[in-house]
Amino acid sequence: MTDIYEILRGQKDADGNYEKKPVIVQGITGKYGSAHAKLMLEYGTNIVAGVTPGKGGQKFEDKIPIYESVKEAVDVTGAEISIVFVPAKFFLSAAKDALESGIKLLVAIPEHVPIRDAMEAIELAKKKDAIIIGPNTPGVIVPGLIKVGIMPATPFSTGKVAVLSKSGTLLYEISNNLTSAGFGQNITIGIGGDPVNGTRMIDAFDMVKDDPELEAMVVVGEIGGDSEEILAQHIIDTGFKKPIVGYIAGRQAPKEKRMGHAGAIVMGNYGSAESKISMFAKANIPVAKRPGEVAVLLAGKMNS
Amino acid sequence: MRLLEYQAKELFKEFGIRTPPSISSKDIEKGRKDAKELGYPFVIKVQVPVGGRGKAGGIQKCSSDDEFELKYPQLLNMSIKGEKTRAILLEKMADIEKELYLSLFLNRSKRCYTIIASSEGGVEIESVKSQTIREVGLGDVDAQTAKEVANEIGLKDSQEEQFVEMLQKLSKLTIEKEAELAEINPLAILKDGTLIALDGKVMTDDNSNFRHDELQQYQEKSELEEQAEKSGFSLVELEGNIAVIGNGAGLVMSTFDLVTDNGGKPATFLDVGGGATTETVYEALTLISKMKRVTGILVNLYGGIVKTTTVAEAFIQAYDNNLIDIPVFARLMGTKSKEAKEMLKDTKTKMFDSIEEAINGVVMEANK
């Protein structure tokens, strides 16, 4: 599997600092793309190129060159990371452009990407040995080093807890609580709220679990699908021993209604909160009743 | 989009999947005409977007005008699990020998479609032990795979052939309409040996709506839901009296859970989207103001980048314009929360530092 840490931070230099990996922004001239490109730059993300067909040759903020295609941008910069801000209906072609040009980590921000398009992009990513995070994700952040996403900077701090979350705002809320309680984050990954995810809970777990600096994990799930159940079984099977705490949103949601996220829907028992919470219990993962309780449960686990 | 049975069956017909003769209506005048055309006896089936209607009495046999006049209005006015009847389907009864199950289903974790088939049908598939499951990538089912599935659930000869044809048609429907689920349950073998779809359920991918104009006729949205969609919000309406508003689906779900845990009854699930501005919050309050049963509003926003004062501005405008006069209980994360509190001091909006406190407040208010 492609190593997400290698892609995002590379190796430490003699002074113990990680590399500043180059990042491409697809859709950098759009309202949303340009606003977040600026925020990522402020955070210290090394944005080296933008891509907007029809605007090749221009510059973003007078310094970052804009190219016609990802291929051109990759040829010049050698970047392996791209973040996509295009409208949902153009996502598939943007993803193909990126994956066929050698992008190894594609962060897919758009919401409302058709499932079939997401599935096609994911198939291509598998062939190219690349990672797609999303669609409908807030992105990925290694606090203090690199932010490839739309998350605010304030909730996050450097540390040793990995946070995996389907929801964006719950990721911010819970990371903020963790930060206040002294649990900084080693990485946080937004899985996304769509029915089909480029990086599933289980993939994200496998990507981060072997990092020697990792001390604990927080998994923020929600109703819909069975990725939490599958993750729990995988945790049992692999015998992962570091502390994990969970949270599941949507316990009281009515059945067969989409609760905001395309993927947040219970059909029969498929996707129900009870099913997820009981599998977490089997895997010895305590589940917080409310977001504010996550840090408390984690503290309990770390001390036991 | 979750299609009602009669809508799913219209798709079945379009794709050549056999269904019993049936006609749908939304009022009794049309129903009477349908009854005459169809001829007694038939079954009257309520059309609701939830399962379990048989048990709830939503399917009734009917064999005379008298019975029709009695049962049609009853079924038309019924609610199942909080869902009002959307339409009525009159359908000829079938002479059933055996009931099977068949669906094509998007397996989200495996990120592929799966065929699920069983020799036991007519019940919820989760309760069925003997299931045949086949993964079929993006949903295309070849004849060989369909044949193997038919054999595994015990079909031979002519029934095997009919099943293969039906499954391949269902696969075509799934791909062309971008369905997350296309289910025939029960798929009946009739006494004459032929196969027929007795009930159907189809869920399509809302995100692909933009390339399926032909499905828009099936879209059943309330006026409020339509307005919400225009504003880029997602709204689910419920029967309670507390309007729950927030940004981000996960955060709103979480707030919704806590309100219910604490004895409150939500009237809405309203997600204004990841960002929050004066405009989006004002628009959300505009939507809520149209719901007369709401007696308290709970707002939970994680702003991050957003200044809470910009959100507080929305509440002040809403009161100034007499948009709302019911109390708002709000928890706003973001910068400048002290200033926001100061701004709202003498208004009906109460600001809280924690969501738990805000929920206590709104539940007490709503249960007054």
**What are the residue ranges spanned by the domains of chain B?**
22-92, 96-214, 223-366
Instruction: Closest CB to A225: pick one of B109, B181, B302.
Output: B109
CATH 3.40.50.720 in chain A is located at 4-133
Q: Please give, rounded to a whole number of angstroms, the shortest distance from the CA of A96 to a CA of chain B.
A: 17
Q: Please give, rounded to a whole number of angstroms, the shortest distance from the CA of B305 to a CA of chain A.
A: 6
Q: Which amino acid is at B255?
A: T
Task: Test B248 with A169 for CB contact under 8 angstroms.
Answer: yes
HEC-encoded secondary structure of B314-355: HHHHHHHCCCCCCCEEEEEEEECHHHHHHHCCCCCEEEECCH
Instruction: Closest CB to B257: pick one of A202, A250, A269.
Output: A250
pLDDT-derived band at B327, boundaries 50, 70, 90: very high
Indicate the CATH number for domain A154-303: 3.40.50.261
- 3-state class (DSSP) for residue B123: coil
A119 vs A1, which has greater pLDDT? A119
Indicate the CATH number for domain B223-366: 3.40.50.261
Indicate the CATH number for domain B96-214: 3.30.470.20
Q: Give me chain A's average pLDDT, please.
A: 96
* Whole-structure pTM value: 0.93
Nearest CA in chain A to B176: A116
Instruction: Closest CB to A173: pick one of B109, B203, B251.
Output: B251
**Percentage of the residues of chain B whose pLDDT score is greater than 90:** 77
Provide the pLDDT for residue B273: 83
B339 vs A297, which has greater pLDDT? A297
Q: Chain B contacts of A255, Cβ < 8 Å? A: 50, 81
Mean pLDDT computed over A187-194: 97
**The CATH number of B22-92 is which of 3.30.930.10, 3.30.1490.20, 1.20.1730.10, 3.55.30.10?**
3.30.1490.20
Q: Give me chain B's average pLDDT, please.
A: 93
Mutate to test the interface with A, among B79, B86, B109, B357 (most CBs of A within 10 A): B109
Mutate to test the interface with A, among B116, B251, B254, B354 (most CBs of A within 10 A): B254
Indicate the CATH number for domain A4-133: 3.40.50.720
Known catalytic residue at B302: no
* A167 within 8 A of A220, measured Cβ to Cβ: yes
Provide the pLDDT for residue B125: 81
Q: Is the pLDDT of residue B282 over 70?
A: yes
Mean pLDDT computed over A57-79: 97
- 3-state class (DSSP) for residue B356: helix
- Residue B204 host element (H or E): strand B200-204
Q: How far apart are CA A45 and CA A42, in angstroms?
A: 7
Tell me which DSSP letter residue A181 carries: T
Provide the pLDDT for residue B334: 76
pLDDT tens per residue, range A4-60: 999 999 999 999 899 999 999 999 999 999 999 999 999 999 999 999 999 999 999
Q: Chain A contacts of B205, Cβ < 8 Å? A: 114-116, 195, 262
- Residue B236 host element (H or E): strand B234-237
pLDDT-derived band at B367, boundaries 50, 70, 90: confident
* B308 within 8 A of B335, measured Cβ to Cβ: yes
Q: Chain B contacts of A254, Cβ < 8 Å? A: 82, 236, 238
pLDDT tens per residue, range A201-213: 999 999 999 999 9
Tell me which DSSP letter residue A106 carries: E
In 3D space, the residue among B251, B243, B302 whose CA is nearest the CA of residue B276 turns out to be B302
Known catalytic residue at B5: no
pLDDT tens per residue, range B289-298: 999 999 999 9
Q: Is the pLDDT of residue A1 over 70?
A: no
Mutate to test the interface with B, among A89, A115, A233 (most CBs of B within 10 A): A115
CATH 3.40.50.261 in chain A is located at 154-303
Helices (H) and strands (E) in chain B, counts: 11, 19
pLDDT tens per residue, range A139-169: 999 999 999 999 999 999 999 999 999 999 9
pLDDT tens per residue, range B8-47: 999 999 999 999 999 999 999 999 999 999 999 999 999 9
pLDDT tens per residue, range B80-89: 988 899 999 9
pLDDT tens per residue, range B188-220: 999 999 999 999 999 999 999 999 999 999 987
